[in-house]
């Protein structure tokens, strides 16, 4: 049985308690140093730094020095031991998905997918369907944009710095909101419901995960199931938000892992 280290590390002070919070860089540096020196027990809690502590301690991205085959291989052992049931991936490239799936069937893939983030329709969606992998779209409402955020609602400070919501881009993207608002009126629903319904009805293998802090929005999201769109409806909506409508969608670079394990830049529609 693996034992935790005799000495643990209390993480509360990293995000400020009896002191000023450290920068993420400094905090992560200390955590890594502690781990490299044998400490394997790190204490954190959601009340430390107003959730910031758990976010800092839990930061993760793909370790490019570890082949995906090794990672999934270890998860496969957990499946065989009955400790977990399924394995999923998030933000993976087609190459990574294939390599992971070859080691153990991948059950679900989480990717951003909405009316204004559709690049996964090129390769990712067909690949998932070829391999029988479920699709879990995050931000199906465009980070709240299709719910009116930044248009009919004020913009939270944390989104004001996001490329899509910067002033010059937001002004262009308001045209998109007008389009979906007109279509929503036609279907007797809200723009958010139409945007969510479009994602929901892309297939039985699609399970979007919209989030909200308001009961009303939750009820609206659930109410989306009552909205039935025909193939012609879906096409009409899709055509209004063309797959490569780059004149109105801000582009940023997404880093993905290629087969050599190094980072490559890929243009991504936002």
Active site positions, annotated: 48
Residue at token pair 């007008």:
178
State the Cα–Cα distance between residues 112 and 142, nearest whole angstrom. Answer: 9
State the Cα–Cα distance between residues 165 and 172, nearest whole angstrom. Answer: 10
Buried residues in 122-160 as b, exposed as e (16+ CB within 10 A): eebbebbeeeebbbbbbbbbbbbbbbbbbbeeebeeebe
Going by the DSSP 8-state scheme, the letter that residue 117 receives in this structure is B
Residues ≥6 apart with Cβ < 8 Å to 195: 114, 115, 140, 141, 142, 146, 180
Coil, strand, or helix at residue 256?
A: strand
- Which of 245, 269, 242, 267 is closest to 256 using CA atoms? 267
Phi, psi of 256 (to 5 degrees): -130, 160
State the Cα–Cα distance between residues 110 and 210, nearest whole angstrom. Answer: 12
Q: What is the β-pairing status of strands 251-257 and 263-269?
A: antiparallel
């Amino acid at each position: 049985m693996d034992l935790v280290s005799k000495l643990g590390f209390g993480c509360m002070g990293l995000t400020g308690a009896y002191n000023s919070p450290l920068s993420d860089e400094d905090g992560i540096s200390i955590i890594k140093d502690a781990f490299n020196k044998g400490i394997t027990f790190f204490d954190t809690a959601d009340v430390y730094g107003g959730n910031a502590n758990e976010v800092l301690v839990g930061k993760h991205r793909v370790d490019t020095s570890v082949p995906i085959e090794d990672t999934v291989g270890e998860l496969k052992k957990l499946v065989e031991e009955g400790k977990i049931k399924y394995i999923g991936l998030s933000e993976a490239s087609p190459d990574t998905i294939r390599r992971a799936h070859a080691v153990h069937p991948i059950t679900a893939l989480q990717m951003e997918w909405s009316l204004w983030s559709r690049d996964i329709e090129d390769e990712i969606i067909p690949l998932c369907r070829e391999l029988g992998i479920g699709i879990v779209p995050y931000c199906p409402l465009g980070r709240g944009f299709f719910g009116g955020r930044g248009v009919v609602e004020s913009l939270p400070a944390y989104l004001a710095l996001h490329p899509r919501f910067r002033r010059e881009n937001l002004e262009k993207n308001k045209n998109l909101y007008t389009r979906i608002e007109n279509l929503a009126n036609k279907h007797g629903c809200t723009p958010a419901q139409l945007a969510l319904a479009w994602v929901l009805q892309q297939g039985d293998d699609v399970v979007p995960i919209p989030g909200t802090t308001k009961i009303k929005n939750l009820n609206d999201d659930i109410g989306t199931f009552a909205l039935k769109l025909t193939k012609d409806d879906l096409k009409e909506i899709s055509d209004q938000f063309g797959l490569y409508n780059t004149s109105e969608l801000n582009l940023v670079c997404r880093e993905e892992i290629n087969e050599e394990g190094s980072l490559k830049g890929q243009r991504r529609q936002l």
